Amino acid sequence: MPRTRHEIDLSILTTTSLTADQPKGHQLRRILEELAERSGPGALMPSERVLADHFGVSRTTVRQEIERMVADGVLFRRHGHGTVVAEPRPARADLLTSFSRDMRARGLVPGSRVLSATVEPATSRVASRLEIEVGSPVLHLVRLRTADEAPMALERADVSLQRFPGLARLRWSRRSLFDTLDERWGVRPATSGARVLAVVADAHDAELLEIDPGQPCLLIEAVTRDQAGVVLESERSLYRGDRYELLARARRTNP
């Protein structure tokens, strides 16, 4: 259960004042990092006014350092509540593992809220990514993915219904797409080509993800193929930058 503002006491700090021999912003950043570490994930930080009055700095200075800590993932703004200490961010290194399995492996409970599951004719862009004919039926699945009931990502996936008929009739709130394709059709993801972009959330997506509009996010666009090199799905997902990180591994091979 998240802590309340009254549970955070500035007296827990080992440093309670700023000195004149160092930039105030740098000192304040170190103090706020100590406060976040001592308070723990989910703790509600003191307001900008309280911090400014306590340390004798402007609210602009406080706001700048808090924004930097939000960008670095130390803090995040909880919509309608204030600024809280961020939970440790799950790191995903394997795009071939389903979101559900990835979260369970980290001790988190995965969940989904189906926003839409519609059958649509493939546009030229979708057809190109799925390598099918324009106008072919496609399942367009949009889900809000959660971990321990906290929003993590908006996932938009396209799958060919010619190759996988019947997908549109399934209920997706408790299903993994990759696991379903494996169980029903015996195909598994083998390769994934993805690009990752740093973007900011618009007002609609921010409301669903429970973040402030303009907060940094990771946009992952990927096409996944099976062992035979045939496309399984095309995905475009928006992950919260304060709750998620993507790891990359590289290996040099001899020419």
For the chain (length 255 residues), average pLDDT per consecutive 10?
50 76 87 86 87 90 89 75 76 65 78 92 94 96 90 94 93 88 93 89 91 86 94 93 73 68
Domain covering 91-246, topology: Chorismate lyase (3.40.1410)
Q: Where are the domains of the chain?
A: 5-85, 91-246
CA 76, chain centre distance (Å): 12
CATH number of 5-85: 1.10.10.10
Query: Using CA atoms, how far apart are residues 92 and 42, in angstroms rounded to an integer?
Result: 22
At 26 the three-state DSSP class reads: helix
pLDDT tens per residue across span 185-214: 999 999 988 898 989 988 999 999 988 888
Classify the C-alpha dihedral 229-249-97-144 as positive or negative.
negative
Please tell me the predicted confidence (pLDDT) of residue 65: 92
pLDDT of residue 243: 76
List beta partners, residue 145.
Answer: 112, 153
What pLDDT is stored for residue 83 in this prediction? 86
Q: What pLDDT does residue 176 have?
A: 87
CA distance 146 to 153: 7
Chain segment 161-173, per-residue pLDDT in tens: 999 999 999 988 8
pTM recorded for the entire structure: 0.66
pLDDT value at position 205? 93
